[in-house]
Amino acid sequence: MAQQQSARSFSVTQRSENEAPRIYPTMRCRNDEAMIGWLKDVIGFTERVIYRNGDTVQHAELAYGSSLLMLGQCSDDEYGKLVGDINGRRTDALYVAVDDPDGLYAKVKASGVKIEMELHDTDYGSRNFACRDPEGNLWNFGTYRPNADEKPL
């Protein structure tokens, strides 16, 4: 007979080797199809699923390795009003751990988006660059790849 785990002994920090991520970045896009195309063609995301309502992307999930990015069309619904205006000052940014920052940098630069930080080596051993996507969101790419189970640097 299977033992039941006490609710008090369960911790959200417990995880198994094959556990899915618990944090999923989300974004709303003015031109969802163009953003999905850029993420797939330039960055290397793959399409997991896209739910449409006519010409509008209601919800999309794009995979990058074992991580997922969820996105959809900007709207004036209740949630859409909470996530902020892309034209105002923002405090959010995305960081993506990559194996070949030099190769990705060349593809990103060739796509014509604004490079915010040129490709460089950091004092903590990562090779990084930062850019704005076609809608102005800040993306950081680098080789630093922390693991939740490892001791910090």
* b/e sequence 19-57, b meaning 16+ C-beta within 10 Å: eeeeeebebbbeebeebbebbeebbbbeeeebeeeeeeb
0.85 exceeded by pTM: no
Per DSSP, 11 falls in state: -
Rounded Cα gap, residues 38 and 117, in angstroms:
19
Across the chain, mean pLDDT equals: 86
- For the chain, what is the domain count? 1
Residue 1: pLDDT band by 50, 70, 90 thresholds?
very low
Domain annotation covers residue 37: yes
Contact 42, 138 (CB under 8 A): no
Q: Which ranges in 23-100 belong to alpha helices (H)?
A: 32-38
Domain annotation covers residue 92: yes
Domain annotation covers residue 5: no
Non-local (6+) Cβ contacts of 118 within 8 A are: 129
Domain annotation covers residue 150: no
74-116 tens-digit pLDDT: 887 787 777 766 566 666 789 999 999 999 999 999 999 999 9
Domain annotation covers residue 138: yes
Domain annotation covers residue 95: yes
Residue 105 parent element (H or E): helix 101-110
Domain span including residue 96:
26-142
Q: Which two tokens stand for residue 26?
A: 């989300």
Domain annotation covers residue 12: no
Domain annotation covers residue 147: no
Give me the CATH number covering residue 70: 3.10.180.10
